[in-house]
Structure 1
Amino acid sequence: MGKTRLEAFSDGVLAIIITIMVLEIKVPHEPTPEALLALLPVFLSYLLSFVYVGIYWNNHHHMLHTCERVTGPILWANLHLLFWLSLLPWATGWMGENHFAALPTAVYGVVLLVAALAYYVLQQTIVASQGPHSLLRLAIGRDLKGKASPVLYLCGVALTCVKPPLGQLMYVLVALMWLVPDRRIERAAGRADAG
Structure 2
Amino acid sequence: MNKNRLEAFSDGVLAIIITIMVLELRAPEEPTWSGLAAVLPTFLSYLLSFVYVGIYWNNHHHMIHLADSVNGSVLWANLHLLFWLSLFPFSTRWMDESGFVEVPVLVYGINLFCAAIAYFVLQQTLIRRQGRDGALSRAIGRDWKGKASPLIYLAGIATASVQPLLGLALYTAVALIWLVPDRRVEHFVTQGGRGQNGERRTG
* TM-score normalised by length of structure 1: 0.96
- The Cα offsets for residues 75-97 of structure 1, whole Å up to 9 and x where unpaired, read as 00000000000000111111112
For residue 57 of structure 1, what is the amino acid of its counterpart? W
SS at 1:50 equivalent = helix
SS at 1:124 equivalent = helix
Residue in 2 aligned with 1:192?
194
SS at 2:67 equivalent = coil
| Aligned residue pairs, count | 195
- The Cα offsets for residues 52-102 of structure 1, whole Å up to 9 and x where unpaired, read as 000000000000001111111000000000000000011111111222111
**Identity, % of aligned positions:** 62
* TM-score normalised by length of structure 2: 0.92
Deviant stretches of 4+, over 3 Å: none
- The Cα offsets for residues 7-56 of structure 1, whole Å up to 9 and x where unpaired, read as 11000000000000011111223222222221111111000000000000
SS at 2:194 equivalent = helix
Residue in 1 aligned with 2:140?
140
SS at 2:20 equivalent = helix
1:53 aligns with 2:53: yes
Q: CA separation in 1, counterparts of 2:44 and 2:135?
A: 37
Residue in 1 aligned with 2:107?
107
Which has the larger helix fraction? 1
Q: CA separation in 1, counterparts of 2:103 and 2:142?
A: 34
Q: Which runs of 5+ in 2 are unaligned?
A: none
For residue 72 of structure 1, what is the amino acid of its counterpart? G
For residue 177 of structure 1, what is the amino acid of its counterpart? I
Q: CA separation in 2, counterparts of 1:183 and 1:117?
A: 23
Q: CA separation in 2, counterparts of 1:184 and 1:20?
A: 33
C-alpha root-mean-square deviation of aligned residues, in Å? 1.3
Residue in 2 aligned with 1:79?
79
Residue in 2 aligned with 1:89?
89
Residue in 1 aligned with 2:25?
25
Q: CA separation in 2, counterparts of 1:184 and 1:125?
A: 21
Q: CA separation in 1, counterparts of 2:92 and 2:45?
A: 6
Residue in 1 aligned with 2:152?
152
For residue 128 of structure 2, what is the amino acid of its counterpart? A
1:3–1:69 CA contact under 8 A, matched in 2: yes
- The Cα offsets for residues 103-143 of structure 1, whole Å up to 9 and x where unpaired, read as 11111000000000000000000001111211111111111
Displacement after TM superposition at 1:180 (Å): 1.8
Displacement after TM superposition at 1:187 (Å): 2.4
Q: CA separation in 1, counterparts of 2:62 and 2:167?
A: 29
Residue in 2 aligned with 1:175?
175
Q: CA separation in 1, counterparts of 2:123 and 2:49?
A: 22
Q: CA separation in 1, counterparts of 2:183 and 2:13?
A: 24
Residue in 1 aligned with 2:165?
165
For residue 102 of structure 1, what is the amino acid of its counterpart? E
SS at 2:25 equivalent = coil
SS at 1:43 equivalent = helix
Residue in 2 aligned with 1:41?
41
